[in-house]
Structure 1
Amino acid sequence: MDTVRAAFRDECARLEQELRDLTGADLDRPTRCPPWTVRDLLAHVATGVGRLADMLAGPAPERAEVDAAGYFGAAKFTPQVDRDRIDSARRQAPAGVPEVVAGFARAWRATDAAVAAAPAGRLVRTRHGDAMTLTEFLRTRVVEVGVHGLDLADALDRRAWLTPTAAEVVADLLRAGRRVPGWDALTLVRKATGRAPLTDAERALLDRAGLRGLSFGG
């Protein structure tokens, strides 16, 4: 939990910092997650990082049934679920930069406070019905804010700001204990999540390594 929480805090704090010099025009830029603009994607990320506060206010399931990798299984992200997710972000997207910054800051800090107050070994139930340990669900939040941070950096023509702690958490989830020689954590995350092109040789390397595929849906 200490490692995952540190990654969550580091990555959220860095994204909050990056948001502070956005312009209104920046919010309307397209992203690689169509039809979302930067504004829409930020609404999705803010909603995603803020989920844990409400989850921890609810009853705990009796036992964990899914880990972070299982949470990102493709089966739950049906076309209808995906449409609802897309429409929800567009409806909730703030109008201006101050609202974007304040909303994201409020969401991640509420989650961090709720995690700090939770007892060790706490279990949670996700909006998809998955019963998970708090640590494993927080790991999915690191993936969401970290990988979508790459999307935002690209949309804003900025250098990727993925923090070292978050990069290692995401890379460890993708590797599942396997070795991928020659790539640092940032390169691995970019390549394995489709945020950077793959050559045929690189694709074969990923296949040989048996890296996990993750379906993103928040």
Structure 2
Amino acid sequence: METVRTAFRDECARLDGVLRTLSEADLDRPTPCPPWAVRDLVAHVSTGAGRLVDMLAAPAPPRAEVDAAGYFGAAKFTPEVDAARVDSARRAARRPADAAATAEAFTAAWRGTDSAVAAQPADRVVRTRHGDAMTLSDFLVTRVVEVGVHGLDLARALDRRPWLTPTAARVVADLLTGGRPVPARLGWDPLTLIRKTTGRLPLTEAERAEIATAEFRWLSFAG
């Protein structure tokens, strides 16, 4: 749990610093997650980073039923759910109208989650907006994935080098590989692994053949 919490804090703090350097024009740049502009994607990440505050205020389910990888299962992300997610982010993006307010909203969201998590045991069970019952530690892994992977999308939209932190990269990579080592023939570092297996970089046919035997987990992203 402490490893995951550190990864969440590190990645959020890194993104926090980036957001405080953005201009109004930066917020209107298109992203690799259409139809979102930067402001929409940041609003989506802010909402995701802050979800645990309300979840931890609700009664705990009796037991966990889904792990972090299961949370990202494609079956639950129907076109209707995906459309609602897109529209929700775009509405949220209109509330903090300028760059400073956008950054402050993200700061408040992730710090609120960090404070809420600090008061809970790692095996506390929470219920997600999809109805999944998960341990707190597993759900926090999904928050590291959301902030870290969408951080790659934001870096691309802003024409900046990826800023993924080593702690977050390790948590996301372990989720993707199930804790298994990356096949040596691929020659991937953690950043390349994450970009390749989440569709942020294309796979070659040789790489597809290699990972078919590696039992990597393919995740569907929706916060």
TM-score range (shorter-chain normalised) is over 0.9
Whether 1:128 aligns to 2:130 is: yes
**Counterparts of 2:75 and 2:150 in 1: how far apart (Å)?**
21
Whether 1:186 aligns to 2:191 is: yes
Give 1:63 shift: 0.4
Per-residue deviation, residues 103-142 of structure 1 (Å, max 9, x unmatched): 0000000000000011342110001000000000000000
Give 1:207 shift: 1.4
Aligned partner of residue 40 in structure 1, secondary structure: helix
Give 1:5 shift: 0.2
State the partner residue of 2:205.
200
How many equivalent residue pairs? 218
State the partner residue of 2:71.
71
Give 1:73 shift: 0.2
**Counterparts of 2:179 and 2:21 in 1: how far apart (Å)?**
38
**Counterparts of 1:205 and 1:155 in 2: how far apart (Å)?**
30
State the partner residue of 1:141.
143
Q: How does 1:1-218 map to 2 (within 5 A)?
A: 1-93=1-93, 94-180=96-182, 181=184, 182-218=187-223
**Counterparts of 2:210 and 2:28 in 1: how far apart (Å)?**
37
**Counterparts of 1:205 and 1:46 in 2: how far apart (Å)?**
36
Query: In 1, are the aligned partners of 2:122 and 2:137 still within 8 Å (CA)?
Result: no
Percent identical residues: 73
TM-score w.r.t. length of structure 1: 0.98
**Counterparts of 2:38 and 2:208 in 1: how far apart (Å)?**
29
**Counterparts of 1:119 and 1:6 in 2: how far apart (Å)?**
15
CA RMSD, aligned part only?
0.8
Query: In 2, are the aligned partners of 1:11 and 1:145 still within 8 Å (CA)?
Result: yes
Give 1:178 shift: 2.5
Give 1:46 shift: 0.1
The unaligned stretches of length 5 or more in structure 2 are none
Query: In 1, are the aligned partners of 2:122 and 2:135 still within 8 Å (CA)?
Result: no
Aligned partner of residue 209 in structure 1, secondary structure: coil
**Counterparts of 1:29 and 1:205 in 2: how far apart (Å)?**
36
